[in-house]
């Protein structure tokens, strides 16, 4: 399912138009993105939690030259599904 399919499904399951469904989805994604960029986590009961996970710096190798390179640490978004979602799937 892609974004357009999700918008169509949201519209079919609610009384919203496709335009309103698209606005709602875009708004939700913007709020989640903003919260994560500020370092907060987003918990949706019965669905799951969006959070940041820190991956520390490490050394790696360039596969073409074999040279050792330093890979910087980074915060990466992660999603942990709630038990209710796991049980339904």
pLDDT in tens, 3-32: 999 999 999 999 899 999 999 999 999 999
49: pLDDT confidence band, cut at 50, 70 and 90? very high
Q: What pLDDT was estimated at residue 82?
A: 96
What fold characterizes domain 41-89? HU Protein; Chain A (4.10.520)
What per-residue confidence (pLDDT) applies to 62?
A: 92
Mean pLDDT of the chain: 94
- The burial of 5, by beta-carbon neighbours within 10 Å (0-12 exposed, 13-18 middle, 19 or more buried), is given as exposed
Place of tokens 């596969």: 63
pLDDT at 9: 94
- Between strands 58-61 and 68-71, the pairing is antiparallel
* Alpha helices (runs of H) in the chain, residue ranges in sequence order: 3-13, 18-37, 83-88
Domain locations in the chain?
A: 1-39, 41-89
Q: How many helices (H) and strands (E) does the chain have?
A: 3, 5
């Amino acid at each position: 399912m892609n974004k357009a399919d999700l918008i169509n499904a949201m519209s079919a399951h609610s009384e919203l138009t496709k335009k309103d469904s698209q606005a709602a989805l875009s708004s939700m994604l913007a709020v989640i993105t903003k919260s994560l960029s500020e370092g907060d986590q987003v918990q949706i009961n019965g669905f799951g939690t969006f959070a940041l996970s820190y991956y520390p710096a490490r050394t790696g190798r360039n596969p073409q030259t074999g040279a050792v390179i330093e890979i910087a640490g980074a915060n990466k978004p992660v999603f942990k599904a709630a038990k209710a979602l796991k049980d339904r799937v």
